[in-house]
Structure 1
Amino acid sequence: MDPRLRLGPGYPRPDLDHRQVEQELLAAGWTRCGIGDWAIALLSPDGTTVARISPFDPAGPYVAAVYREASHTRQVPQLFAHQRLTGGGDFQLMERLEPVHEDEAAAFHDAIAARAPEVADLVDVVRRVHGKAQSELPWCGPLDDNPDNVMRTADGRLVIADLFSADGPKLYATVVSDPDLVVARIPEAERRFMTELPLANTGSWEPAVRESMRAGLAAADARSGG
């Protein structure tokens, strides 16, 4: 059955935030199956579908665009649904993926970097969407060659996931050094939960640092009249 039908048409509602969506899915029998810097992942009760939930992910719509526009290559995950969440969160519902050996992942990345014939269509989509993100998205990050982004589907295909994101180190350094610039470039409604990233790989902020960032952004919002 289509995972969208199990959750209901149009799930989740855009007025929900990341915490509410997580709680609804957990109550429906989904279980946590992964956590990274930008998002957590929940596995459906039947084990076939994963929900990626981020409290703040400006690049989410661009990554979803790659999944949709490159779906014909079968070298990206099958995306069942994408929804922006209130406060700047991002929800993606996709097929379950499994990790691959690092050497296999590196070879796939090498093929992408060289625009090898077998990935040429994929590369064309990635470059086009990433170029759009670079022109529209403040603090857009580079293409990510992390081997963990190459995974395998249940039917054995190699796919590439999360090829780019916001440039977290530069963005959050600017939150500390120049919160007025962040406020000027990212509306409050799109960054309300930006200090709630899980940061499972790089390590979470100290509570004092998190509160300082929140206070700096709130003061900048007040100065801007936001």
Structure 2
Amino acid sequence: MDPQGALRYLAGRGLLTGPADHRRVERVLVDDGWTPCGAGDWAVALRSPDGTLAARISPFDPTGPYSAAIYARAAHTRQVPALVVHRRLTGGGDLQVLEWLAPVPADEATVFQEALAEPRPDLAELAAVVDDVHAQARRELPWCGPLDRNPANVMRTVDGRLVVLDLLYADGPDLYSTAASDPDRLVALIPQDERRFMTEIPLATSGPWDPAAREALRAAVAAADARRAPVPAADEP
């Protein structure tokens, strides 16, 4: 599926405009034959029926727009994946549709990550974009982590190029620890509409999430939201 065809398809399925949360997006794509091809702590991935695209779907991902900005601004380097579409989902979720990528041996991926960190001359333009967007994210997001140098974030395109993705991430351990211990701070820093589904991230890498702990966190955040809600003004005589 070429990018324009993908855009027409997604628009025809109502996934580019109007309300849509992560559940609806995943349901529509699976019903259309997209198949699960991966999961991490923050998102799941589905592969298109023709194998050319991957959809990254997250219930809650504050860094999604910044990752998309890196892909857009560094597209000319051909060292990031081709981004077909990015949109924020209802409740703080994130959808990215990217070109299909294949895994890379860990030693080869490590060399690429180290070269990007230096940066090596052929990666200097990409490194400058990454550093600029990351600095913006650190200024604007209360829980933006350092750059993720995980070799698994280096992958190969169908035409053989090495690309890097998912360099930015929210500091999940600190964010969720704060949500549990000081939910009033969390709700003061992240608007409710941007974290509605924060207890639905997959946690496929560091989980599973204990159901009781998940429900306790959900209840604590809801109580903090209730405390923060404005008190209705008394009716005037």
TM-score by length of 1: 0.97
Distance 1:14 1:41 in 2: 22
- Structure with higher Rg: it is 2
Shift of 1:164: 1.1
Tell me the alpha carbon deviations over residues 180-212 of structure 1, each in whole angstroms, 9 at most, x when there is no partner.
Answer: 000000011000000001011111210110011
Amino acid at match of 2:163: V
Name 1:7's counterpart in structure 2.
Answer: 10
Name 2:191's counterpart in structure 1.
Answer: 187
1:72 is the counterpart of 2:76:
yes
Contact residue 84 and residue 97 of structure 2 kept, 8 A? yes
**Runs of 5+ unmatched residues, structure 2:** 231-237
Correspondence for 1:157 among 161, 165, 188? 161
Correspondence for 2:130 among 107, 126, 146? 126
Shift of 1:8: 2.4
Amino acid at match of 2:23: R
Look up the SS of the partner of 1:184 in the other structure.
helix
Contact residue 14 and residue 84 of structure 1 kept, 8 A? no
1:19 is the counterpart of 2:47:
no
Distance 2:218 2:56 in 1: 25
Q: Which runs of 4+ in 1 moved over 4 A?
A: none
Distance 1:188 1:222 in 2: 11
Shift of 1:4: 1.3
Tell me the alpha carbon deviations over residues 106-160 of structure 1, each in whole angstroms, 9 at most, x when there is no partner.
Answer: 0001101101101000000000000000000110011001110000000000000
- Which runs of structure 2 are paired with 1:8-87 in the superposition (5 Å)? 8=11, 11-87=15-91
Distance of aligned partners of 1:14 and 1:63 in 2 relative to their CA distance in 1, 3 Å threshold: farther
1:217 is the counterpart of 2:221:
yes
Aligned residues: 226
Amino acid at match of 2:31: A
Name 2:92's counterpart in structure 1.
Answer: 88
* CA RMSD in angstroms, aligned pairs only: 1.1
Amino acid at match of 2:7: R
**Runs of 5+ unmatched residues, structure 1:** none
Shift of 1:14: 4.5
